[in-house]
Each structure stands twice: as structure tokens, then as C-alpha cells.
Amino acid sequence: MAESNFFSEIFLFPLWGKMAPILATATETGAEPEMVLAGVLLSLVAIYIASKAGGEFFSWLNFPPVLGELVGGVVIGISALNLVIFPESGANSSSSVIINILEATAGLTPEAAGATFQAQSEVLDVLAELGVIILLFEIGLESNIRDLMQVGIQSLIVATVGVVLPFVGGTAGMMGIFHVSAVPAVFAGAALTATSIGITSRVLTEINRLNTQEGQIILGAAVIDDVMGIIILAVVASLAKTGEVDLINVVYLIISASVFLVGAILLGRFFNDGFVFFAEKFKTRGRAVIPALTIALSLAYIGAAIHLEAILGAFAAGLVLDNLDQKEVGRELEELIRPISDVIVPIFFVTVGTKTNLSVLNPAIPTNREGLVIAIFLIVVAILGKVICGFSVFGLGPINRLAIGVGMVPRGEVGLVFASVGSASGALSPALDVAIILMVILTTFLAPPLLRVVFGQAEEVPETSG
Amino acid sequence: MAESNFFSEIFLFPLWGKMAPILATATETGAEPEMVLAGVLLSLVAIYIASKAGGEFFSWLNFPPVLGELVGGVVIGISALNLVIFPESGANSSSSVIINILEATAGLTPEAAGATFQAQSEVLDVLAELGVIILLFEIGLESNIRDLMQVGIQSLIVATVGVVLPFVGGTAGMMGIFHVSAVPAVFAGAALTATSIGITSRVLTEINRLNTQEGQIILGAAVIDDVMGIIILAVVASLAKTGEVDLINVVYLIISASVFLVGAILLGRFFNDGFVFFAEKFKTRGRAVIPALTIALSLAYIGAAIHLEAILGAFAAGLVLDNLDQKEVGRELEELIRPISDVIVPIFFVTVGTKTNLSVLNPAIPTNREGLVIAIFLIVVAILGKVICGFSVFGLGPINRLAIGVGMVPRGEVGLVFASVGSASGALSPALDVAIILMVILTTFLAPPLLRVVFGQAEEVPETSG
């Protein structure tokens, strides 16, 4: 790259290139640990600048900051600047601007570039995962388990309707209208099912609606449909691979998910007492945060190990650490988890943005056009299916059913998991793959402002009628 | 492993093993991202339990908690439980208990175990590096640049004497007493030079001595001898590789180190004003912490890119963000950086412990004996050389010169870098490699309690004389 050489000549760094092999000990994969660290540092700088530039700009526009963080991610990601990109998008190290900067300024050798890019991406992926784990833990902490139990039956209905409608609508439409064969049609339908709890819950927190009845129903339904979504994903992926559904697997997954969630809640008292016992005894720094994180990461591990989701475990951990504001260590925890969340959660949202490839939107490329038409269909089904599910809430009086439906719209990271698994299994045609990604992008980007609008309306209603 | 199979049979998890390939998309290196995340989660749980168990136990014994975190790391690391281990120690995935647990409970396939172990270790290494970066940033924030400038000349003298004495003594002794040839002798001497600023500064913070004259001289000298140490490492490593010293490289390294540190301090006003400007304008979460971390990570990147140390950049960033307690965002930053440091810094200290292989202490193995004798010699030179350098402080009246010398003793992570580079270059015999590691272990473990003792004495002197 011309600019890179220019930089290195201007700053007279050529000899550092020679020093690198002396100072670095290569790992088995050929990545230089010093270069991996340098790449992660530079990526984090880009991610933090993008998160604050986007977040503050959107906040100034009166949009949710989380949307700005996503857009900031899109700007530095695969769609525009190519600063923070990931190998699973098909990018290689030579298209990563960070890797080019490392080669120009830090003496990364071209031979080690591929392995360093791979290792750096693995680290950033885990940091983003830790970000969404901490996010869900914090949300769990802020949620009240009794409130969630009260709306439990409503959440279950909303989740079930919100899974069945888009799944049936999507699959039938793909087969009936677009004449897609059964397996990819079922995959497309399945990709419409799971709500992204992360994005909705952060927006709800930002507009101070998390602890409303609507917020709790959305949260509960998002948790439930996440579990349903993962089960459907496993079933559909095995269908795509073998052509048949392994019923024993399905039964095992359903049982393990139920045992895990119910078990975590039943053991809540034990975790809670354990946390308070240790945190009150401890005298050194991090006395409240470390025991709490240990519980959160343990449950996240169990969630990941049994092939549910790590974030479900983290959410369960936050949920069971309850009634904390009556204890000093509890208030300490709720206060101290915020700055930790402030630095790690943006990594998740910006990373989702960086992986969003807007070039699939370009209708000038013929292969995109079929995808665009299918995408429009999927987006309509995705939004309608979830919006309608909000109206399945019964007997709660003046509740904002539209807001509940809208809250279930964003597919976010869960939808992207569907797209990547489907793409990897070979079941999806490129057009269908593009269409699913478009559905994920648009539902994710539309939901936060829509959620503000529909909740804003609800807020004004009592004022007008009062 | 028998226990692992027992676990998996008890909990009836066999089918999850079959599910794993469906849900996971393998990366280029063959690591399954889900398994890498699960491995990191489990490792963090082990690290946090070790850090709190060790830290609280040592705090109860009235030892510095940081020493307990190191010992906690030794217990879960390569020396004992093999829970958290790293490939550079020669360990492979089958000896990692975490990997065995993943195979037994999370469905990790044996084929993917090696790549998953590698990727998990890379992630933990970067997390540990981020830990020491945040640690040094926090220390820099707590240090006052004017105080450091006041003791600048004293620090320079202490650092220079503390580098020259162990280097000359070590090299001469190795050649004269043990008849080691020139290159490995120079390497052993060089390994004795660089003080671990991380351990000393955390102990100084814990015993509330960081802002004493002694604390500031130690800190300044540790920073300076770190720079000297890295330059010496580069020179010695190139000597070991080519048999000759590349003078132009040496000159370049000296110039870049000086330009970097002086430049960062001269630009301090600019960073400081920039931080306050943005932090005061921002309205969303993390308004103070994110801009500060962006500066810290940027300077850390520059430090790593020019083959000094990332931690030097982070320390410089903390140092230049000065006079913050007069601004609201500054007080916010100093308060909010603590919980972040509380969760990430222990990862560094525990990891140093896990990498410490105490089995090289076993005198029953014949090859250890030569190393033990050389080790005793190196330890004596390492301690005496640094303790004596404390007495090179002049003209400051009643100052605790012994404490300054003792504060310079721990070699910690910097010494381990010397050992691993030397070992990788092939210049060091196994015995000499073992001896250097032993020197690092013992100086690291001895310094914190010694530092408490000598500072404790100093504290009692004024009370007796007053």
C-alpha cells in the first residue's frame, strides 16, 4: 500500500521491521504474539473511536446511542473503511487496514500476516462475546425475577406466537412464492424466529422502559425465543446436513435448556447467599465484582458447554443475584459493574456493525437482485410476524401491545449466527444468504428508532388522557 | 481421563458431543469459536477463583495480595493443577485440564483440541497483556509527573547503577566461575537488568508508599531500566543470533525510546486538553473512561509498534493525564478506572503465576542441579546488584536507600521475557535457562514481603525519633 510505505519512510521506521523477528517468538500457528497484541490494541482504538463518534452523534440526533455504535462499526468495518474486519466474511489479511498498518509501522512480516490476522480476529471475537456476556449479566442484575415471573405466561405466549408466525410464514412463502426447495425454505423460516435480546434490552434501558410491564414481557419473550431459536437452529442445521431430524437430539436440547434455566432460578438463593457471604468476607480490591463475575462466567460456561448460549447463562446469573440493593456489597456491585460494562459492551455492538456487509445492498450487481426481492419478503414477514405476536398478550388492560411486538423485531447477532451456520452448511444459495443478512440488518436497524417511537407514543397517551 | 468420562456419564451429556460440529463453524486454524469462548470462560473462572483465594489468604497473612495472586496462579498452572497452561511452556492440549473438561462436558472433538488450546491461550495472553496495560495506566494516573521529574536524576542514577552492577557481575561471574562462553554469559547478565515495574508498583500502592520520595525514585528507575532492559535484550538477542552487535539497530532503539517517552511527556498538555474536551462534551455512558482508554491504548500501540513495550505507552498515557482531580470528568475517570482494573489486572498476575514452573526446583533430577548452583549465584547477584544501587542516591537527607534497592529487585514478567527470548534463540543451555527462570521466580516472590519489611522499618523510625 502506497500510504503505508509513505508513513514508514516519513517516520524512518524501516529498521524496526528487522527487529521484529528478534523480539517476537512465533507461536505454533505462525502468529507473532507481539503483533497480535499490537493488532488488538489498534483494533480497540478504532472500535472505541467508532463507538463514541457514532454513539454521541446518534445521541445528539436523539436516536439510541447503541444504533450509533452499530453504524460506527459499519463505517470502520467490511462495508467501508476495512479497519476492523474478520476472516469469516471471506476477507483475508491483505484487505485488513489494521494488518497493513502493522506491516508499515510495527514490522509485521508478510509471512506472519495471515496468522496474526487470524489470531487477532479470534481475540476480538472473544472480547465481543465477553461484551455481550457482561451486557446480559448487567441486564439480568437490573431485571427483577419476581416481575419476570409475573409476566412469565405472557412472555411464553408472545415468544411462541412470535416464533411460529414468522417460521410458518417465511417457510410457506419461500416454497409457495419463490419455489425454493424444502430445506433452504425451512432454514429461511427458522432464521426469522430468534429476537436479539441484546439490542432490544439496551434500548429499553436507555429509554428507561426495562422495568415496565412491556419491557419485562419483551425481555422474558426474548429469552424464551432465544432458547426456541437455538433449538430450531440445531434442528434445521442437522436437517440441512443429514436430510432428517434427529428426534433424540431435539428432545435432549429441549430438556437441557429447560433444566438449565429452571435449575439456575431454583439455585438462585444458593448463588445469592454464596455471593454475599464471600463478598462481605473479602477485604482486597474487587471484593464484590470478582465473585459476581465468577458466578456469571461459570453459568455462561455451562450455557456454552451445553450448546445453548453463553449469554443465557450470564443473564440467568444476573437474574439470580437478586435483592442486592439491601446489602452494601450488592449496591457496590451494581455501581461497579457499570464502568466495566461501559468499556466492554461497545466492543460487541461495534463488532456486529463491522461484520455487516452493506455491499450486498447494491442492486447494480445482478446476483443481488433476486436476493433483494427475497429480502423484502423476509423483512415484511419478520416485522409483521413479531409485531402481530405483541397482540397475543391478553387480560392485562391498557398495555402497549404494539411496543411489545416492535420490541421483538430485531434479530441482531442471533440472526447473524443463523446466516453464518446456514452459509457454512451449504444449504443456502448465495441469494438466500444475502436475503437473510439483509433481513437481519434492517430489523436490527429499524427496531431501536421504532421502539422509541412506539414507547414515546405510549408515554404521551397518559398525559393526553390525564 | 477417567474423571472426565465419569462426569459426562453422570450428567448424560454424550449427545452434546455430536451437536458441537453442527453448531460450530471451524476457523482456518481448525479451532471452533464456540469452544475457544468456552475455554476462555472456564479459564477466567479458574483465574478469578485463584486470584481471590490467593489474594485474600495472603492479605489475611498480612502479605501483599499480589503475591497471593501469583501463588494462586502457580497452584492452577503448570506447576500443580495444570488448569491454566500455555503452549510456550511445551505443554500440549492433552495436558490442559481445561481442554479435558471441554472434551468431557462441551463436546470438543479431539481433532480440534490442539487448535482450540492454541487459540484460547492467545486470547488469555492478550487479556493478561491488557491487564498489565491497564495496571500501568492506573499507576501512571496515580503518579504525579512533577514529582517524578523532581526525582528524575536520582531515578536515572539508580537505574544505571542497577543495570550496570548485575550485568557486569552476572556476565563476569558466569565466565569466570562457571566457564560459560561469552554469548550465554552476556545473556545471563542481561537477564538480571530489568526491574518489573508492575509488581513493585502494585505493592507500593498497597502499602501506600507510591507517592513517597522512595516510591517515585523506584518508579522512575523502573521505567528507565525497563527501557534500558529492552534495548539490552534487543542487542543481546541479535548478538546471540548473528554473533555481532548491529550498532545501527542499537542507535535506532535508543533514539526511538527517548523520542517516545520525551515526546509523550511534551505532548502531555495536548492529550490532557483533548481528553477533558471530549469527556466533558460526551453525554452517553463511558464518557470519561472510553476517551482515556483510547489514549492509553493508542500510546500502548505505539510502544508495542516501535518494539519498546506496550506497558511503557500505557504508563506514559497515565502520566500525561494529569491534574485531573480538578475536573469533574477527571475525578470520574480516577474512580471508574478502579473497577475495570480490579477485573482485568488479576488476569495478568495469575497468568504470570501459571507460567512459573516450580518443577525445575526439584534437585532429585540431575539436570536441575547445575542449574540450581548457577541459579543461586544469579539470585545473589540479582539481589545484591539492585540493593546496592539504592545506595547510589545522593544528597536527599534521611531517605530509605535500602527500600529503594529492594524495590528494584523483582524481575517478574520482564525477566520471563528474557528467559523465553533466550530460550527460543537457542543461546541458552537448559541449565542456564532454568537458572534464569529460578532467579526471576525468587526475586519476584521475595521482593514484595521484603519491601513491606524495609518500608515498615522506615515508618517506625520517625515515630521512634519523633
pLDDT in tens, B8-33: 333 333 333 333 333 334 444 567 77
Amino acid at A432: L
The CB density around residue A391, as the number of other CB atoms within 10 Å, is 13
pLDDT for residue B77 is more than 70: yes
Q: How far apart (Å, rounded) are the C-alpha atoms in residues B64 and B18?
A: 47
The pLDDT of residue A264 is 81
The pLDDT value recorded for residue A148 is 64
- Cβ-defined contact of B342 to A282 (cutoff 8 Å): no
Higher pLDDT residue, A459 or A30?
A30
Distance between CA atoms of A433 and A423, rounded to whole angstroms?
6
Q: In the predicted model, is pLDDT for residue B210 greater than 70?
A: yes
State mean pLDDT over B121-148. Answer: 83
More confident residue, A199 or A176: A176
Residue B384: pLDDT above 90? yes
Residue B118 or A422, more confident: B118
**Would you tell me which residues 343-362 of chain A have a C-beta closer than 8 angstroms to some C-beta of chain B?**
343, 346
Length of chain B counted residue by residue: 466
Q: Cβ of A208 under 8 Å from any chain B Cβ?
A: no
- Domain ranges (residues) in chain B: 2-125, 134-460
- Give the per-residue pLDDT at A347: 93
Rounded to the nearest integer, the mean pLDDT of chain A is 78
- Number of residue pairs across A and B with CB atoms under 8 Å? 252
How far away is chain A from the Cα of B122, in angstroms, using its nearest Cα? 7
Question: For residue A93, what is the DSSP state?
Answer: G
Per residue in A136-155, pLDDT (tens digit) is 888 778 766 666 667 678 88
Kindly tell me if the per-residue pLDDT of B416 is higher than 70.
no
Confidence of residue A8 (pLDDT cuts 50, 70, 90): very low
**pLDDT class for A324, splitting at 50, 70, 90?**
low
Q: In this complex, do B65 and A285 lie within 8 Å of one another by their Cβ atoms?
A: yes
> What are the cell numbers at B206?
498497597
As assigned by CATH, the class of the B134-460 domain is mainly alpha
pLDDT of residue A201: 79
Per-residue pLDDT at B377: 94
pLDDT over 90 (residue B132) = no
Q: What are the tens digits of pLDDT across the range B183-197?
A: 788 888 988 988 877
Inter-chain contact A290–B48, Cβ cutoff 8 Å?
yes
Note whether A286 contacts B346, CB cutoff 8 Å.
yes
Instruction: Please determine, for residue A301, whether its predicted confidence score (pLDDT) is greater than 50.
Output: yes
Instruction: State yes or no: pLDDT of A260 exceeds 50.
Output: yes
CB-based burial, A37-52: b 16+ in 10 Å, e otherwise: bbbbbbbbbbbbbbbb
Å between A407 CA and nearest CA of chain B: 22
B424 to chain A, any CB pair closer than 8 A? The answer is: yes
Query: Which residue of chain B comes nearest to A420, CA vs CA?
Result: B25
Across A185-194, B402-411, B423-432, least confident range: B423-432
Q: Which pLDDT score, from 0 to 100, does residue A144 have?
A: 65
User: pLDDT confidence of A334, banded at 50, 70, 90?
Assistant: confident
- Higher pLDDT, residue B416 or A218: A218
User: Please, where are the H alpha helices in A63-109?
Assistant: 65-76, 97-101
As a CATH number, domain A128-348+360-458 is 1.20.1530.20
Handedness of CA A350, A355, A359, A360 (dihedral sign): negative
Mean pLDDT across B368-383: 87
Measured between alpha carbons, how far is A279 from B337 in angstroms, rounded to an integer?
20
Band (B246; pLDDT cuts 50, 70, 90)? low
CB–CB contact B307 A105 (8 Å): no
Nearest CA in chain B to A30: B29
In this prediction, residue A161 carries a pLDDT of 93
Whether pTM exceeds 0.90: no
* Residue A229 scores a pLDDT above 70: yes
CA distances from B46 to B58, B346, B381 (A): 18, 11, 36
Mean pLDDT is lowest, of A336-350, B56-70, B114-128, B322-336, for B322-336
- B41 vs A: CB within 8 A: yes
Query: CA of A177, closest CA in chain B: separation in Å?
Result: 29
Interface test with B, best of A126, A283, A289, A348 (most B CBs within 10 A): A126
Compare CB distances from B22 to A237, A294, A346 and report the shortest one's residue. A237
- Where is average pLDDT lowest: A387-401, A411-425, B348-362, B393-407? A411-425
pLDDT band at A370 (very low <50, low <70, confident <90, very high): confident
Q: Is the CB of B343 less than 8 angstroms away from the CB of A20?
A: no
Measured from the Cβ of residue A423, the count of other Cβ atoms closer than 10 Å reads 20
Mean pLDDT to the nearest integer, A37-54: 94
Is A48 within 8 Å of B304 when comparing Cβ atoms? Answer: no
Q: Is the pLDDT of residue A206 over 50?
A: yes
What is the structure's pLDDT at A127?
Answer: 94
Q: Say what the pLDDT of residue B2 is.
A: 37
Q: Alpha carbon of B245 to those of A149, B40, B170, B251: distances in Å?
A: 71, 41, 19, 11
B118, A27 contact by CB (below 8 A):
yes
Give tens-digit pLDDT for B218-243: 888 887 787 677 667 766 766 666 66
Grid cell locating A257: 435448556
Of A107, A285, A341, the CB nearest to B342: A285
Over residues A263-267, mean pLDDT: 82
Contact B305/A at CB under 8 A: yes
Say yes or no to pLDDT of B337 above 60: yes
For the question of an ipTM over 0.85, the answer is no
**How far B465 CA lies from chain A's nearest CA (Å)?**
33
Would you state the pLDDT for residue A231? Answer: 67
Nearest to B16 among A55, A60, A307 (CB): A307
pLDDT digits (tens, 9 = 90+) for A78-102: 888 989 988 877 778 888 888 989 8
Interface test with B, best of A76, A285, A332 (most B CBs within 10 A): A285
CB contact (8 A) between residue A52 and residue B346? no
Task: Work out the mean pLDDT of chain B and round it to a whole number.
Answer: 78
Q: Is A106 on the interface with B (CB under 8 A)?
A: yes
pLDDT at A13: 37
